[in-house]
Amino acid sequence: DGGITQSPKYLFRKEGQNVTLSCEQNLNHDAMYWYRQDPGQGLRLIYYSQIVNDFQKGDIAEGYSVSREKKESFPLTVTSAQKNPTAFYLCASSANGGRQGGTEAFFGQGTRLTVV
């Protein structure tokens, strides 16, 4: 089936650890996004990438890092520098990002990260 797969669904992190959230898509989309969602709040953009080997910071990039070595993959690392990482993380992709006539964005089912 075509779509976006996020793994794992649930993730527990100890204080001071780095963890990596996986996002894979087989839709042949150029653009990929990472969002963070906290209870009662909207989605906030962490990082986005509109093409392989290129990515830009979103509104809350501090304490996070990404890579885009392959078109289908956009992993997010939550580093120990992120002071409040407990949240619901969502990955999305779209065919041509912000270019004119941009197409639908599709989302994965999310990863819930908890610091223990």
Interface residues for other proteins in 85-104 (CB under 8 A)?
Answer: 88, 90, 92, 94, 97-104
Query: Does residue 16 bind other proteins (CB under 8 A)?
Result: no
Identify the CA nearest to 65 among candidates 10, 18, 13. Answer: 18
Identify the CA nearest to 113 among candidates 63, 67, 69, 70. Answer: 63
- CA dist 112 and 115 (Å) reads 10
DSSP state of 35: E
Q: State in angstroms the smallest separation of the CB of 82 from other proteins.
A: 20
Query: Does residue 38 bind other proteins (CB under 8 A)?
Result: no
Give the binding site for other proteins (CB under 8 A): 6, 33, 35, 41-45, 48, 50, 58, 88, 90, 92, 94, 97-110, 112
